[in-house]
Every structure is written in structure tokens, then in C-alpha cells.
């Protein structure tokens, strides 16, 4: 397994403060799939994972088209909900018009975070369509920032299924929202105020099929460098079966010259 590269970016803030972002990401076909239908983009300030679906080639078409359009957003230099949604509209058109798109529902999940400015203050914004996930590790605890768009999650939310019963449920892979599988789907957004020491884990379900939340917490806290944490989690996922493509990004945040201490999170309409 090749060594994962690590990158960092320093962001000057007001009053002499500085925010430092360090990240690493990787994708792997896994041990049971012939092709890799996942894709990811990890370039400051946008970190996203896409997990394609829809036939042998369809998933790769969808995930690559979506990541390609978002790469264009980065190149243009303005990453906002508006520019992201315009990119997703272009990706949807590209996916549905592709000659190899299938009737099986060619599409892709999309989840991740980006750093933006809200009223002169830095804010992380998560975005999510589908059942790939964003986790936040803060003060030694792990929480799932995103909510899965899946049949199983709807059953859990309605009280008809417990989280324990959801494990291995026959509909566990059925998602209710995707990029490209229908008309433009607007992501769910969550705004997160930066906190020194925060770590984001952005991943496809190929990781969460093989590692529990506790397992993710264990590897990230045991490996302070994002690249080492990525390699450790990928190795564990493959050793645990590698039943699906595995894609993950780890983003570590540091603040110096002062601290942004609030931990409030709010959904952005």
C-alpha cells in the first residue's frame, strides 16, 4: 500500500490569530470489488468524498463527474453553497446525458466539509447527499455530523428500527438521495465553528461497514498525523473484510494566537 501524502494550509485570521489545516486522503478498491466507484477531492478549502452507484461503469461515471465539477469550483476560487449547487447541477446533467448511464439509477453520494467566511468569521460547513459521512472528533469524543439519506435511517428516525437492528439490515445500502439519480438534489448543510484540535473524518460507507465509530475514534486519537490515521484506518478496513471501495479523508484543525471556543452547531437552510 503506497504511503499517503499529507498537506497543510495556514489561514490568517483577525486579531493575529491563525488557523492551520492539515489533511490527507486516500481511496482503495477494497478486496471484493473489481472497480473503484469512489472518488474524492481534498484541496483547501474543500474536502469531499463521492461514492458512485448504478451498474458496473455507472457509479464511476457519476462520482468522477461530480468531483470534476467541484474541482472547477476550486479553480474558480469561490467555494460557497451557491457555487457547489451550480456544480452539482452541471454534474447531474453530465451524468444523465452520459452514454453509459444506466437505468439502474446512476448517481453518487457526496459528503464533506469546506471552510468559508460568515460575517467575517471562519466557519466549517458540512454538506451531505446520501449515506457517506462526516464525523467530528472533539475533546476526545466522536459525533456524526451528517445524517444518512437512507431507508434504514428513515426507519431509525421514525422509531421503527433501533440502531442495533440496523446493523446488517437488508436495506442498509438503499439510499434515498443522490447526485444524478434524479433532478438536482440540494445538500444538507451544517455550520460548525472552528475549535482548536478538531478532527474531521470524511468517508464512504466502505469504511463504516468495517469500522465502528469507536474504531474510527481509536485510530484517529492514536495517530495524530492525518496521513498516519488514514493509512491505519484503511489497513483496518481491508483487514476486516474490505467488502466495498474504501475512501476517507482526515482533516485536523489547529488555532493559534487565541481560540474560538464555541461548539455550537446549527443547520443552515
| Domain at 46, CATH number | 3.60.40.10
Determine the 3-state secondary structure of 160 from DSSP: coil
Determine the 3-state secondary structure of 224 from DSSP: coil
Residue 77: Cβ-neighbour burial (10 angstroms; 0-12, 13-18, 19+): exposed
pLDDT of residue 266: 37
pLDDT of residue 265: 38
User: The domain containing residue 69 runs over which residues?
Assistant: 7-268
The pLDDT tens digits of the residues spanning 32-91 come to 999 999 999 999 999 999 999 876 567 899 999 999 999 999 999 999 999 999 999 999
The rounded mean pLDDT for the chain is 88
**Residue 59 lies inside a defined structural domain of this protein:** yes
CA distance 248 to 246: 7
Whether the pLDDT of residue 267 is over 50: the answer is no
For 220, the grid coordinates are 484517529
Instruction: Tell me how many domains the chain contains.
Output: 1
**Residue 1 lies inside a defined structural domain of this protein:** no
pLDDT of residue 3: 79
**Residue 221 lies inside a defined structural domain of this protein:** yes
CA distance 204 to 111: 8
The pLDDT tens digits of the residues spanning 110-135 come to 999 999 998 888 999 999 999 999 99
Q: How are the residues of the chain apportioned to helix, strand and coil, as percentages rounded to the nearest 5?
A: 30, 35, 35
**Residue 106 lies inside a defined structural domain of this protein:** yes
Q: What percent of the chain has pLDDT over 90?
A: 70
Rg from Cα positions in the chain: 18
**Residue 27 lies inside a defined structural domain of this protein:** yes
Are 48 and 110 spatial neighbours (Cβ–Cβ below 8 Å)?
yes
b/e map 16-52, b = 16+ CB within 10 Å = eeebebbbbbbbbbbeebeebbbbbbbbbbbbbbbbb
Whether the pLDDT of residue 140 is over 80: the answer is yes
**Residue 141 lies inside a defined structural domain of this protein:** yes
pLDDT of residue 165: 63
Higher-confidence residue: 166 or 246?
A: 246
pLDDT of residue 14: 84
The pLDDT tens digits of the residues spanning 182-217 come to 777 899 999 999 999 999 999 999 999 999 999 999
**Residue 98 lies inside a defined structural domain of this protein:** yes
**Residue 2 lies inside a defined structural domain of this protein:** no
Amino acid at each position: 500500500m503506497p504511503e499517503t501524502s499529507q498537506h497543510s494550509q495556514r489561514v490568517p485570521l483577525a486579531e493575529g490569530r491563525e488557523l492551520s489545516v492539515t489533511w490527507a486522503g486516500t481511496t482503495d478498491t477494497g478486496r471484493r470489488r473489481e472497480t473503484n466507484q469512489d472518488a474524492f477531492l481534498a484541496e483547501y478549502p474543500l474536502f469531499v468524498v463521492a461514492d458512485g452507484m448504478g451498474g458496473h461503469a455507472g457509479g464511476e461515471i457519476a462520482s468522477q463527474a461530480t468531483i470534476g465539477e467541484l474541482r472547477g469550483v476550486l479553480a474558480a476560487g469561490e467555494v460557497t453553497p451557491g457555487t457547489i449547487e451550480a456544480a452539482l447541477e452541471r454534474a447531474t446533467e453530465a451524468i444523465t446525458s452520459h452514454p453509459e448511464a444506466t437505468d439502474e439509477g446512476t448517481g453518487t453520494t457526496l459528503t464533506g466539509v469546506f471552510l468559508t467566511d460568515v460575517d467575517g468569521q471562519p466557519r466549517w460547513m458540512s454538506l451531505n447527499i446520501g449515506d457517506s459521512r462526516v464525523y467530528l472528533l472533539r475533546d476526545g469524543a466522536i459525533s456524526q455530523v451528517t445524517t444518512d439519506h437512507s431507508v434504514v435511517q428513515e426507519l431509525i428516525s421514525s422509531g421503527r428500527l433501533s440502531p442495533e437492528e440496523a446493523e446488517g439490515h437488508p436495506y442498509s445500502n438503499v439510499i434515498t438521495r443522490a447526485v444524478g439519480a434524479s433532478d438536482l438534489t440540494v445538500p444538507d448543510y451544517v455550520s460548525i465553528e472552528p475549535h482548536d484540535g478538531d478532527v474531521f473524518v470524511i468517508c464512504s460507507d466502505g469504511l463504516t461497514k468495517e469500522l465502528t465509530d469507536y474504531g474510527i475514534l481509536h485510530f484517529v486519537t492514536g495517530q495524530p498525523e492525518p496521513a498516519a490515521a488514514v493509512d491505519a484506518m484503511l489497513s483496518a478496513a481491508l483487514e476486516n473484510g474490505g467488502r466495498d471501495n474504501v475512501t476517507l479523508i482526515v482533516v485536523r484543525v489547529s488555532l493559534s494566537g487565541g481560540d474560538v471556543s464555541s461548539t455550537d452547531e446549527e443547520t443552515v437552510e
